Amino acid sequence: MRSLDRVTLKGLRSRGRHGCLPAERELGQEFVVDAVLSLDTGPAAAGDDLNKTVDYGELAGRLVACVAGEPVNLIETLAWRLAEICLDHPLVEEVEITVHKPAAPIPHSFDDVAVTIVRRKP
C-alpha cells in the first residue's frame, strides 16, 4: 500500500447551535474544527495544479456552513457530518476530524472539550 500525504486545516472557527441544553441551542457558541485529509498530492505537485488536490479554501467554506447549519445534540454527530463532507472529495481517502467545544457547559475550569474521529473511504 502506498503512503498518503496529508493536508491539514487547523483551528477553523464557526458559530453553531449544537448541544443538548436549550441554552446551547438558543445562544449558540463557537466551535473549532481541525481536519487532516489523507490523499496523494503527487499529481498536484508535479503539475502545480490546484485541480489535482483539495482546494482547502472551498473546503473550509463547506465545513463552516455545516457547523453553522442544522443543530445536533452531540459533537460526535457534528464530527461525522464534517468527515462526510471531506470524504465527498474524490481525492480524499481518509480524514481525521476534531471538533473542539471550548465553551462547553461544564461547571469546572477546563481548557477544551474535543471529539476526534477517523473515517476512511470503503
pLDDT digits (tens, 9 = 90+) for 40-71: 999 999 999 999 999 999 999 999 999 999 99
β-partners of residue 97 are: 35, 117
Active site residue 10: no
DSSP state of 7: E
Q: What is the pLDDT of residues 57-116, one digit of tens each?
A: 999 999 999 999 999 999 999 999 999 999 999 999 999 999 999 999 999 999 999 999
pLDDT at position 20 over 70: yes
User: Catalytic one among 10, 52, 101, 121?
Assistant: 101
pTM: 0.95
pLDDT at position 1 over 80: no
Reference 36, options 90, 99, 78; nearest CA is: 99
pLDDT at residue 3, rounded to an integer: 83
Residue 122: pLDDT band with limits 50, 70, 90: confident
Set out the domains of the chain in order of their start, with CATH numbers.
5-120 (3.30.1130.10)
For residue 29, give Cα distances in angstroms to 12, 13, 19, 61: 14, 10, 10, 18
Query: What is the rounded CA–CA span in Å between residue 20 and residue 97?
Result: 21
